[in-house]
């Protein structure tokens, strides 16, 4: 009987996925994963597939953050500041996609690479927007900690 009670209390993986994708953060992360996959496919089809590493790494990082937030593991792992982790991931991803996409668009004259560069620029904008949306959450944690009353002081 306790097994059936636990099944009704904890949502399944697909139910967690569907409910998380409907949130703003879930939609942004799903779009980041999709754009990284498109960039990865374009760079694989290119004659010079030397810029795959950024798309692969950022897609893996976005999937890991997506799963952690979807299953709400961030509430169990309190020793990591998840807002800063996600901010650094998004900011570094934006910068790396911007740099590699500009290099590809300037130096390589291959149709698939140019498409990957354009989608990479879109991914850089999306990653930058994600980093921008995380800033209020970071400021909220600092102001909340600063305004909490202290005992005896």
Write the DSSP assignment of 56-120 as a string of letters: HHHHHHHHHHHHHHHTTGGGT-TTS-HHHHHHHHHHHHHHHHHHHHHHHHHH---HHHHHHHHHH
pTM of structure:
0.82
Question: What domain count does the chain have?
Answer: 1
The CATH number covering residue 129 comes to 1.20.1270
The span from the CA of 51 to the CA of 8, in Å, is: 45
User: Is 43 a domain residue?
Assistant: yes
Instruction: List all residues 6 or more positions away from 31 whose beta carbon is below 8 Å from its beta carbon.
Output: 126
User: Is 14 a domain residue?
Assistant: no
Predicted local distance difference test score (pLDDT) of residue 9: 64
Please give the span between the terminal C-alpha atoms of the chain, in angstroms, as a whole number. 50
By residue range, what is the domain housing residue 114?
Answer: 25-144
Q: For residue 118, is pLDDT > 60? A: yes
Query: Percent of the chain scored above 70 by pLDDT?
Result: 84
Pick the more confident residue, 51 or 128.
128
The span from the CA of 111 to the CA of 109, in Å, is: 7
The span from the CA of 133 to the CA of 29, in Å, is: 12
DSSP 46: S
Q: For residue 3, is pLDDT > 70? A: no
The span from the CA of 95 to the CA of 134, in Å, is: 16
User: Is 133 a domain residue?
Assistant: yes
User: Is 151 a domain residue?
Assistant: no
Predicted local distance difference test score (pLDDT) of residue 13: 79
Pick the more confident residue, 19 or 117.
117
Is residue 121 very low, low, confident or very high in pLDDT (cuts 50, 70, 90)?
A: very high
State the chain's mean pLDDT as an integer: 85
18-65: pLDDT as tens digits: 888 899 999 999 999 999 999 999 999 998 878 899 999 999 999 999
């Amino acid at each position: 009987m306790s097994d059936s009670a636990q099944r009704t209390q904890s949502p399944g993986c697909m139910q967690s996925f569907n409910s998380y994708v409907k949130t703003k953060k879930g939609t942004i992360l799903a779009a980041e994963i999709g754009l990284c996959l498109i960039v990865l496919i374009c760079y694989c089809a290119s004659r010079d597939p030397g810029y795959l590493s950024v798309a692969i790494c950022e897609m893996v990082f976005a999937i890991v953050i997506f799963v952690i937030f979807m299953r709400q593991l961030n509430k169990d792992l309190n020793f990591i500041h998840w807002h800063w982790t996600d901010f650094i991931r998004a900011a570094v991803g934006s910068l790396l996609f911007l740099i590699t996409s500009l290099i590809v668009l300037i130096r390589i004259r291959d149709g698939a690479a140019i498409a990957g560069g354009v989608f990479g620029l879109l991914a850089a904008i999306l990653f930058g927007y994600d980093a921008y949306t995380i800033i209020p959450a970071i400021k909220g944690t600092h102001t909340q900690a600063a305004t909490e009353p202290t005992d005896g002081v």
